[in-house]
């Protein structure tokens, strides 16, 4: 999901409610032992973006390297979240790097096999997507979520998130199920994007030979 610098006042009390310092430290250690490489982000029309990703069963070096590459790819693209399918790996792994209101620090998190267990509220907000360049629109999603996932070592984790973090996580989990933000729009809103979407599809037809 693309970066947004705007926060509503109520976001101040939302965000990461678990202590994720350990995970951040772990990522730093990982980054020191492996030189991550940016990967190509697939764009609309590429068939992989519509694939339902497979659960991760092996928590190995390949998974940690993929996560490190995804963090780098997301940061270089000025994104706030990235799903594995966007870099052509159809496994249930996502990364987020969400800025915090009134803070320089971002919440950085890698989530494997994420499942949304509970939701609350409803919030409409403008979304964009690294895989659908130049298009944005308002999407309504739950404002708060309870998420179960595994970290990069396979340890079970629970996270309660609100505001932008909750939104980005939902956007990325959609990707893992082959769902894009434009699927949430009304047919009328989507029709307005038709020309641009067709353009993106044409570019991919050349790349994939479809
Ligand atoms: Zn996206």
pTM of the model: 0.85
Q: Could you read off the pLDDT tens digit of each residue along the chain, which spans 210 residues?
A: 876 544 443 444 444 444 445 455 555 555 557 899 999 999 999 999 999 999 999 999 999 999 999 999 999 999 999 999 999 999 999 999 999 888 888 999 999 999 999 999 999 999 999 999 999 999 999 999 999 999 999 999 999 999 999 999 999 999 999 999 999 999 999 999 999 999 999 988 765 444
Fold of 18-208: Peptide Deformylase (3.90.45)
**From ligand 1's centre to the CA of 59, what distance in Å?**
24
Helix 61-76 / helix 21-33 crossing angle, nearest 10 deg: 100
Domain regions of the chain by residue span: 18-208
Residue with tokens 């970066």: 3
Q: What is the pLDDT of residue 11?
A: 45
**From ligand 1's centre to the CA of 134, what distance in Å?**
12
Catalytic residue positions, numbered: 172
**From ligand 1's centre to the CA of 153, what distance in Å?**
25
Q: What is the pLDDT of residue 204?
A: 85
Q: What is the pLDDT of residue 89?
A: 98
**From ligand 1's centre to the CA of 125, what distance in Å?**
14
Q: What is the pLDDT of residue 26?
A: 56
| 39-71 b/e (C-beta count within 10 Å ≥ 16 → b) | bebbbbbbebbeeebeebeeeeeebbbbbbbbb
**From ligand 1's centre to the CA of 46, what distance in Å?**
13
């Amino acid at each position: 999901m693309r970066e947004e610098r705007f926060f509503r006042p109520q976001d101040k009390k939302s965000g990461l409610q678990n202590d994720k310092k350990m995970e951040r430290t772990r990522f730093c250690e990982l980054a020191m032992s492996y030189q991550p490489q940016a990967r190509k982000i697939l764009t609309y029309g590429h068939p992989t973006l519509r694939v339902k990703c497979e659960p991760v069963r092996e928590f190995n070096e390949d998974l940690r390297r993929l996560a490190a590459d995804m963090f780098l790819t997301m940061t270089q693209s000025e994104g706030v979240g990235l799903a594995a399918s966007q870099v052509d790996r159809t496994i249930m792994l996502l990364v987020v790097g969400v800025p915090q209101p009134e803070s320089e620090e971002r919440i950085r998190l890698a989530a494997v096999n994420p499942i949304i267990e509970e939701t609350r509220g409803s919030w409409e907000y403008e979304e964009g997507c690294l895989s659908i360049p130049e298009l944005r629109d308002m999407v309504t999603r739950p404002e708060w979520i309870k998420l179960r996932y595994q970290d990069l070592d396979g340890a079970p984790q629970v996270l309660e998130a609100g505001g932008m973090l909750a939104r980005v996580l939902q956007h990325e989990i959609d990707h893992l199920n082959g769902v894009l933000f434009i699927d949430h729009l009304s047919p009328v809103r989507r029709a307005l994007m038709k020309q641009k979407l067709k353009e993106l599809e044409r570019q991919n037809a050349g790349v994939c030979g479809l």
